[in-house]
Each structure stands twice: as C-alpha cells, then as structure tokens.
Amino acid sequence: MSQFYFNNDNAPGTIDIVSLTPDSGTTPVVPTAAGNVTLVASSSDDFSESGITTVGGTNTLTVTLTNRKTGQVTTTDASTTNIISLALGAVESVYAITGYITPMIKSGGNTGDGASYYFDSAFRTDGATATKIASDENTTLEDISLEDASITLTVSGGNALLNVIGLAGTTINWDAIILFRRVI
C-alpha cells in the first residue's frame, strides 16, 4: 500500500510532499531539494490483487496499472491475426477476461468507417494447457462496411488468444485492451 506524507505548515493553499512510501523499491521516495517527485506511469500484464503497483526510485515513483494488456495490429485480408496473447501461467488458475477492440478502415474500403467490440470471456489453466470455459459474451457496434470483420477468443498451449479477422483487400488498423482477474 502506498502512503503519502504531507507537510501543511506552508502558506494557505500550499502543501509540501515530504515523502512517498511505495509498495517496493526505494522507501521512502523523497522529493528533490526543489520539492519535486517524478511520477512515471506504465501498464503491465503482471497480476496484482489491487490492479495497481507503486515502485520507488531516487526522487521517482512509478505507478503501474496491472492485470491488463494492450495490442495493435494492421490487417489487409480476411485471415485470422493475433492481436493479444496472454500467458496464463504455470499454476492452476481461472481467469475472467474482459476487453475492447476498436478497428478503423484505412484504405481499400469505406475509409474512416469503424467499429467497437466489447467482450467477456473465461479461461482456466492446469499450469500447462489453457482451456476456454464457455462461449463469450460479445457486444458488436459497427458500420455496415465492417459486418464481415470479427474477433475471436481462443487458446493455444498455455495462452489465451485474442484474434481479429479483417476484410479482403481492405487495410484495417485495430487497437485492443484486455483486463483480467485471476484466482489460484
């Protein structure tokens, strides 16, 4: 758990940060002589119960949003293309995965048309092999020109895979994020 210690002995309306206590790393993080602490933001597919971690460094605090993974890909045909692969780990676990994918046609079709796909899915692993537990729950919002494009959630080895299927002769840029929870 991160903690902030403030000094409120200043002029009205001003507060000095005296120190920050991160989850790990340099403890406490002390501001520079000028009173500055650099905050660095990142994201990770590492699992943490709270979905966020903080790591201290010299005058720096890195805040990481965990339990998520992003991906981008461009398709030019109707083949299946992986956009995100999530390793389910070497320990028996069950995962709830939710996510969003947004494609936009860049050329070869109705340029600028787009869509939004939202999904919920569940997977389990015995520590070596991933298994999809049930059918996905999907919400599809799309321009008519993308009605033949789609997404799939599958498994390969110990991984959960998020795939996209584009359109023949059409360049589509795809952007995706998944969020997950895990129980061991």
User: Same domain for 43 and 106?
Assistant: no
Model confidence over 50-74: pLDDT tens digits?
888 888 888 888 889 999 999 999 9
pLDDT tens by residue, 140-182: 999 999 999 999 999 999 999 999 999 999 999 999 999 999 9
Residue 22 has pLDDT above 80, yes or no: no
Q: Are 146 and 114 in contact (CB under 8 A)?
A: yes
**How far apart, in whole angstroms, are the C-alpha atoms of residue 169 and residue 154?**
25
Same domain assignment for residues 122 and 54: no
What b/e string do you get for 123-159 counting C-beta neighbours within 10 Å, with b at 16 or more? bbbeeeebeeeeeeeeeeebbebbeebbbebebeebb
> Do 141 and 115 form a contact (C-beta atoms < 8 A)?
yes
With H, G, I as helix, E, B as strand and everything else as coil, classify residue 166.
coil
Are 57 and 133 part of one and the same domain?
no
pTM above 0.85, yes or no: no
pLDDT in tens, 72-129: 999 999 999 999 999 999 999 999 999 999 999 999 979 999 999 999 999 999 999 9
CATH of residue 153's domain is: 2.60.40
Please provide the distance, in angstroms rounded to a whole number, between the alpha carbons at the two ends of the chain: 22
HSE-up of residue 164 (Cα within 13 Å, Cβ side): 32
| Residue span of the structural domain in which 15 resides | 3-65
Q: How many CB atoms lie within 10 A of CB 90?
A: 11
